[in-house]
Structure 1
C-alpha cells in the first residue's frame, strides 16, 4: 500500500472521510428526545457490535479479538458487523436509535451528535473501574460530556513535524529534540528560509495540501495553530471572540506566509522522496517515512505561536447503544476489547498510539526512548477545547453536537486564508456563521 492509500485510511486521524458524514450530522441534528435508554439486562446472551471496516490488518485484529472473547467464556456471544469506512458514520446517522447495535464504534468528533440524538448511552456503570482507570487522560477526555463517558478508544492520535536530518544539517538548521526546545513560529519560518536557500525549487514544506483544507484534515491539522495562539474554535459556546482574536489572526497570517515554501504533494511522496525537508502530519506516516529515511528521520512538535506547542488528538472509540437491553454484556465485551492484548494487537496493526496506560508504557514505538516518544509526551498533557493553557499540549476538538458546523466553517476559512484571503475577514466570517447556527439550534444543548 502506498503512502497516500495509508493516509486515506486514517479517517480517524486525518478525517478525510468525515466531510460528508459530518455535514449529514449537521443536517440531522435535531436533539430528538425519542429513543430508549440503555437497560442493564442479564449480562448474558447475544449482543450485536458494529465497527468500521478499515485496513485489512485492523479488521483482522478486531475479528480476532471478537473470536477470542467468544471462546473465552460462554455467557456472552458477540456478533460483529463490519461496515465500509466511507459509509459508516452515514449509516449510524441514518439508522433509528432503536435499531442500532448494543456496542458500536464511532469516530471521535461524531460522538456528541450521537449523544444529542439519543444514540449513545453513558458507559461508566457498565465497564469496570479498572478499564476506566487504565484509559489515558486524553482518551477519556475525548469521550466525556458533563462528567459522563460515552466512549473509550483502543488508540489515539497526534501531530508533529517530521524532518529530514540530512537536509536540515545541510542548510545549517538546528532542530528541536522534543517538547522542551520546540521551535517558535518565527524560528520555524527562519528554518524554511534557510532550507529554501539550499533547495532547487524552494519548496521545502509539506502541509498535506492534497488532502484539502476545507475538510476534517484542515481542522485536525491546523486548529493547533489557533490553540497555540491562545484562541479556541469555541469558548463558552461561541466562536466570536475565540476564533477571531488578534493573536489568532496574526498566527493565520504567518500560516499564510508559508505557502511560498509548500510543495502541493499531489503524489503523496514529497517528504519520503526528499523533495521537502519538513512534513506537518501525524503519527500515521511514521512507517512510510521511517522506511524511506531511516536514521535521517527526526520527529518534532508543531511550532509555538505564543501559548505553547499544541497538537490535535482523538480517534475511533467504542460506546454502548442507547437502546440496548443488555448493557452489562456490552460492558463485559468492552472490558475485554480494551485489555492490553487487544489494544497492543490493534496498535501493532495500525501503528497508532495505544490509548491505555499499560499498553502505552510497553509500546516499542511510543515508550520513553522510543522513536515516537514525542506523541506519548504530548498526549500526557491534555486539555479540553475551552480550557487551553500554556502547559497542555493535546487539545480535544470541541465536544458539541454542533461540531459539523464548527469544522465546516473553520475549514472554509483556513482554505480561504491559504488561498490568499484576508485572515481577519475570513475568521470573522467563520465565527459569525458558527454562532448563527448555534443560535438557530439553541446552542446544541444535550437534553
Structure 2
C-alpha cells in the first residue's frame, strides 16, 4: 500500500476511518439520552473537537474556524485536533460532562454515542435552512426517531474503477451508468475475459491487502448483501436477514472471484495497469485519474438481483449532550456547512459534498462531472432499513450495536474470502449478532 493510499484509508476525512476502533465503543450506558444540553446565550467561547486528517483537510477546517471567528465578535470557536487513530477512543473514554460543545464523529459511531448520552439532537440549534440543504443520504446516517444528531460536510461512495484501454482490448462491454449496471454473472464473465488477456490472470483489485475483518470489509462489501436482497440487520435481528439463501449465493460468487484478484500489496495494482478493475471508493479518484487520464471509467457495483447498491456515510458534526451553549454551537455549524467551507473541505479531500447546493456546484460531482455516478447513487438513498430495488445508497445500520455488527460481518467476510463455506460463516455471524443484541435488550433508544 502506498503512503498516499494509506493516508486516504486511515487518517483522512474522506469517508472511512478504517483504523478507528469501532469495536472499542462501549455499550456501557444505554436507555436513551438524558442530555442536560442548554441553549445558552448564543455568545461566548465554544469548544470544538475534531479528528486530525490530512494536512489539506486540517487546513480547510482551521481556515473555517479562523474565518468564523473574524466574521463576528459574539462567538469564539476554540478548535482542538485529536490524532485520528485515537479520536473515537478519546470520545468513548471521556465523560459527557467533559466533552466539548461540538463533537465530530464518524457516522457509524453516532448511535452508540447517543445511547451513551454523549450527543444531543441538533434540530433546535441549527437553522431550518441548514437542515433543508443537507442531502437526504447524509441525514440518513444521523437520524434516530425523527431527530438529527449530526450533519456532515461530505459523504462517501463506492464504485468499480475501470481501465478503458484494458477493457476494450479484452472486448468487454461495460456499463455507462446505473441503468445498465453489470449483473453479478456479467461481472464474473468480464473477469474471465479480462483474465485471458492479463499477463498473470489477475485483473481485479478488491483492496484485499489489509484483509476484510475491519470497517473496509463492511463498507466495501455489505453492498453485496444489500444487492442480494438481504440486510445486516432487519427488525433488530441478523438471522433471516444476513444469512438468507440469496446472500449465501452472492457471497459464494464473491468467494469465486479470489482467483482473479491481484493481492495489491503495493497499493498500485490499478494505477500501474496490473488490473483492469478496482473495487474501491471515491477517495482513490485523484490517484487513479492522475495515472490513467482519459482511460479511467467509473462504474457502479454489480447487481446481485435487488439493484446495484453502494455504501455511504462519513464524518459529521454534532452537539455535545452537556453543552451549555448549544445556540452558539448551532450558529457555528450553520457557518461550517455553508458552500464556501464545504467546497474548501471537499476540494481538500475529494469527497462528495453532503449539501445540495455545494454538490450541484462541485466540479467533480455535478451533472457532467467525472464522478457524477457517485452523486447519482447518493441521490437515491435507502436509509438503513427500506432497502428496495430502486434505491442505491444504503446507510450502515443506525444502532448502538453497530460495532458488533461490523465486527462479526467483517470476520465472516474475511473467512469466506479465505475459503470458509458462506452458509456456515454467515449463520455464525448472525447468531453472534443476535446474542449480543439480546444481551443488551436490543440497544433501544427511546
Q: If the TM-score is normalised by the length of the shorter chain, which range does it land in? A: over 0.9
Aligned residues of 1:383 and 1:394 also touching (Cα < 8 A): yes
- State the match for 2:164 in structure 1: 165
- State the match for 2:380 in structure 1: 381
- State the match for 1:14 in structure 2: 16
User: 3-state DSSP class of the match of 2:117?
Assistant: coil
- Rounded Cα–Cα distance in structure 2 between residues aligned with 1:2 and 1:76: 37
What is the 5 A alignment of 1:228-267? Answer: 228-267=227-266
User: Is 2:148 the partner of 1:114?
Assistant: no
User: How far apart are 1:31 and its partner, in Å?
Assistant: 1.2
User: 3-state DSSP class of the match of 2:209?
Assistant: helix
Shift in CA distance, 10/262, structure 1 to aligned 2, threshold 3 Å: farther
User: 3-state DSSP class of the match of 2:176?
Assistant: coil
Structure 1, unpaired ranges of 5+:
none
What is the 5 A alignment of 1:141-180? Answer: 141-180=140-179
Shift in CA distance, 377/50, structure 1 to aligned 2, threshold 3 Å: same
- Rounded Cα–Cα distance in structure 2 between residues aligned with 1:445 and 1:4: 36
In the TM superposition, what whole-angstrom CA distance separates every residue of 1:118-162 from its partner, at most 9, and x where no partner exists? 000000010000000000000111110010000100000000000
- Rounded Cα–Cα distance in structure 1 between residues aligned with 2:95 and 2:221: 34
In the TM superposition, what whole-angstrom CA distance separates every residue of 1:334-382 from its partner, at most 9, and x where no partner exists? 0000000000000001100000000000001000000000000000000
What is the 5 A alignment of 1:89-108? Answer: 89-108=88-107
User: 3-state DSSP class of the match of 1:353?
Assistant: coil
- Rounded Cα–Cα distance in structure 1 between residues aligned with 2:113 and 2:267: 34
User: 3-state DSSP class of the match of 1:291?
Assistant: helix
User: How far apart are 1:167 and its partner, in Å?
Assistant: 0.4
The two structures, once aligned, show a CA RMSD in angstroms of: 1.2
Shift in CA distance, 418/326, structure 1 to aligned 2, threshold 3 Å: same
- State the match for 1:199 in structure 2: 198
- Rounded Cα–Cα distance in structure 1 between residues aligned with 2:307 and 2:379: 15
User: 3-state DSSP class of the match of 2:369?
Assistant: coil
- State the match for 1:23 in structure 2: 23
User: How far apart are 1:35 and its partner, in Å?
Assistant: 6.3
User: 3-state DSSP class of the match of 2:37?
Assistant: coil
User: Is 2:127 the partner of 1:137?
Assistant: no
- Rounded Cα–Cα distance in structure 2 between residues aligned with 1:163 and 1:34: 46
What is the 5 A alignment of 1:32-43? Answer: 36-43=35-42
User: How far apart are 1:409 and its partner, in Å?
Assistant: 0.2
- State the match for 2:412 in structure 1: 413
- Rounded Cα–Cα distance in structure 2 between residues aligned with 1:306 and 1:15: 30
- Rounded Cα–Cα distance in structure 1 between residues aligned with 2:424 and 2:12: 32
Structure 2, unpaired ranges of 5+:
none
Aligned residues of 2:12 and 2:57 also touching (Cα < 8 A): no
Aligned residues of 2:380 and 2:391 also touching (Cα < 8 A): yes
User: 3-state DSSP class of the match of 1:325?
Assistant: coil
User: 3-state DSSP class of the match of 1:346?
Assistant: helix
Shift in CA distance, 11/238, structure 1 to aligned 2, threshold 3 Å: farther
User: How far apart are 1:36 and its partner, in Å?
Assistant: 4.2
User: How far apart are 1:11 and its partner, in Å?
Assistant: 6.4
What is the 5 A alignment of 1:290-369? Answer: 290-369=289-368
Q: Could you state the TM-score of these two structures normalised by the residue count of structure 2?
A: 0.98
User: Is 2:69 the partner of 1:67?
Assistant: no
In the TM superposition, what whole-angstrom CA distance separates every residue of 1:80-127 from its partner, at most 9, and x where no partner exists? 000000000000000000000000100000000000000000000100
What count of residue pairs does the alignment treat as equivalent?
444
User: 3-state DSSP class of the match of 1:210?
Assistant: coil
User: 3-state DSSP class of the match of 1:2?
Assistant: helix
In the TM superposition, what whole-angstrom CA distance separates every residue of 1:250-298 from its partner, at most 9, and x where no partner exists? 0000000000000111100000000000000000000000000000000
What is the 5 A alignment of 1:51-62? Answer: 51-62=50-61
Aligned residues of 2:137 and 2:378 also touching (Cα < 8 A): yes
In the TM superposition, what whole-angstrom CA distance separates every residue of 1:289-318 from its partner, at most 9, and x where no partner exists? 000000000000000000000000000000
User: 3-state DSSP class of the match of 1:41?
Assistant: coil
Aligned residues of 2:11 and 2:52 also touching (Cα < 8 A): no
- Rounded Cα–Cα distance in structure 2 between residues aligned with 1:34 and 1:277: 49
- Rounded Cα–Cα distance in structure 2 between residues aligned with 1:296 and 1:211: 27
Aligned residues of 1:156 and 1:315 also touching (Cα < 8 A): yes
User: How far apart are 1:16 and its partner, in Å?
Assistant: 1.6
User: How far apart are 1:387 and its partner, in Å?
Assistant: 0.9
Aligned residues of 1:12 and 1:107 also touching (Cα < 8 A): no
- Rounded Cα–Cα distance in structure 2 between residues aligned with 1:412 and 1:443: 22
